[in-house]
Amino acid sequence: MTPAASAPIGIFDSGLGGLSVWRQIVALLPAESTLYVADRAHVPYGSRQEGEIRAYSEAIGSRLLEAGCKAIVVACNTASAVVLQPLRERFPGQLILGLEPAVKPAVALTRSGVVGVMATPATFQGRLFRATVGRHATRVRVVEQVCLGLADLVEAGDPDGQRTEALLRGFLEPMLAAGADTIVLGCTHYPFVIEAIRRLVGPDVTVIDPAPAVARHLSSLLERHGLRAPPGTSCHRFLTTGEAERFDRDARQLIGIETASLHVPWRGATPPGLELPPLTPLLQLPPQPF
């Protein structure tokens, strides 16, 4: 069944990181409604086993599609690396977008021939990253920087603190020493520390946040499929597998929005199931200006 143009776009991440994608989508497509799921019961995904990441993200992605979302955006590089293919096979013809490290634009931009990529361990281990590098980075050197603990500091509400800065210095130094003049943010949590990164690397290094390109890609896919929402009906709902109050507080602090989130519980383990409330009442809220 073809989803309705007024149906929401499902967006999910292990936690708050996907909000860096959400805000670009909402800015570019103000008529669209969104349903955001943060799996904070299991954050961080980046240091988990592939099987676990796939189980959680497949459960969330499939529930969003079954619930009637007209498109989903896997707003997490780590989850995208393992779940895009199985979801596309299970839901053929549905609009399923993901995040992959922006190696292609970085290769086009670099003058030094060295590109740095910041991501989680699981993203670097995934096939998607290998394939992206193999396809686009044949003539440049790609320096991989595992940024263990960086997403956790964003989750902990400390993106601007001294601990973050110290951690960033350690991560940036090897890429700069190798001659990188272009750095890719390969995790959706990292745009929340992009100002600190830019300050530390200086004006001669370009830092790429892929989120605006994902929003543009989504926009063109919706257009092509005749699924752009009519104006004046937008509504945004936020679900978290963690504590709702904490999500609201952290989202307010991070991007200044009032989320009034709902807690959704996991049930069972193999495979894990997510209890999503029915979509229609969930989205019959007054339009919220963001």
Give catalytic residue positions: 76, 187
CA dihedral of 144, 150, 151, 152, whole degrees rounded to 10:
140
Q: How far is the CB of 214 from ligand DGL (least distance, A)?
A: 11
Q: Which residues form the interface with ligand DGL (CB under 6 A)?
A: 13-14, 17, 43-46, 76-78, 99, 120, 123, 151, 187-189
In the complex, the smallest distance separating the C-beta of residue 249 from ligand DGL, rounded to whole angstroms, is 19
Question: Based on CB atoms, which residue is closest to ligand DGL, 43 or 183?
Answer: 43
Smallest distance, Å, CB 237 to ligand DGL? 20
In the complex, least distance from residue 196 CB atom to ligand DGL, rounded to whole angstroms: 17
Q: How far is the CB of 174 from ligand DGL (least distance, A)?
A: 20
Nearer to ligand DGL, 38 or 283 (CB): 38
**Residue 270: is it exposed, middle or buried by C-beta count within 10 angstroms (0-12/13-18/19+)?**
exposed
CB of 40 or CB of 136, closer to ligand DGL:
40
Q: What is the CA radius of gyration of the chain?
A: 18
Q: Which of 111, 69, 110 is nearest to 91 (CA)?
A: 69
Quick one: which of 123, 140, 131 has its CA closest to 185?
Answer: 123
Residues with Cβ within 8 Å of 54's Cβ and at least 6 positions away in sequence, in order, are 82, 83, 86
Dihedral angle sign, alpha carbons of residues 124, 126, 128, 134: positive
Q: Which is nearer to ligand DGL, 130 or 224 (CB)?
A: 130
279, 68 Cβ separation under 8 angstroms: yes
- Nearer Cβ to ligand DGL, position 7 or 274? 274
Task: State the residue number with the nearest CB to ligand DGL.
Answer: 46
